[in-house]
Amino acid sequence: GHLVLATLHTNDSAAAVTRLLDMGIEPFLLSSSLLGVVAQRLVRKLCSHCKAHNGSGWVAVGCEKCGHTGYHGRVGVYELLQTTEAINAQIHNQAAEAEIRAAAQADGMKTMREDGERWLAEGVTTEAELLRVTKEVLK
């Protein structure tokens, strides 16, 4: 076989699997050949010159260095859906996106939001920014 890397515009890794099925790829072919799916988003980084902690979390303040936005630069949040027997069974049965996501999480997948929590803990971004960037994933 050949290694193929491709991009799809979806909200998360589970949605990429269902998109491939929707495109007409036979479930038995997809379940036997897919190794994994990476989903990513970029969150804005707090400006290191003006960020402030308000007691419950970091907030964007704004200064001349960041153009009064409170943010400067971006950092990625990711999730990796690795195919397992459970995921392959879901694909083969043409399961819904939510079922595939639940199976992946049961197998240990961290969502983009969960991955982004490390940036919250380190004061790199705000909770509002993480929620803004990952809100579609919760639908």
pLDDT (tens digit, 0 to 9) for every residue of the chain, 139 residues total? 678 888 999 999 999 999 999 999 999 999 999 999 999 999 999 999 999 999 889 999 999 999 999 999 999 999 999 999 999 999 999 999 999 999 999 999 999 999 999 999 999 999 999 999 998 765 4
Question: What is the structure's pLDDT at 74?
Answer: 98
Does 65 reside within a domain? yes
Does 44 reside within a domain? yes
d(CA 27, CA 24): 9
Scanning the structure block, which residue is given the tokens 């879901």?
A: 90
- Is the CB of residue 79 less than 8 Å from the CB of residue 109? yes
Burial of 85 (0-12, 13-18, 19+ CB in 10 A): exposed
Does 1 reside within a domain? no
Does 125 reside within a domain? yes
Q: What is the CATH number of the domain that holds 38?
A: 3.40.50.300
- What does the block give as tokens for 62? 């704004």
Q: Which domain holds residue 33?
A: 13-138
H-assigned helices in the chain? 13-22, 27-33, 85-92, 97-106, 112-121, 127-134
Scanning the structure block, which residue is given the tokens 């049961």?
A: 106
User: How many domains does the structure of the chain reveal?
Assistant: 1
Question: What is the structure's pLDDT at 3?
Answer: 82
Question: What is the structure's pLDDT at 13?
Answer: 96
Question: What is the structure's pLDDT at 100?
Answer: 97
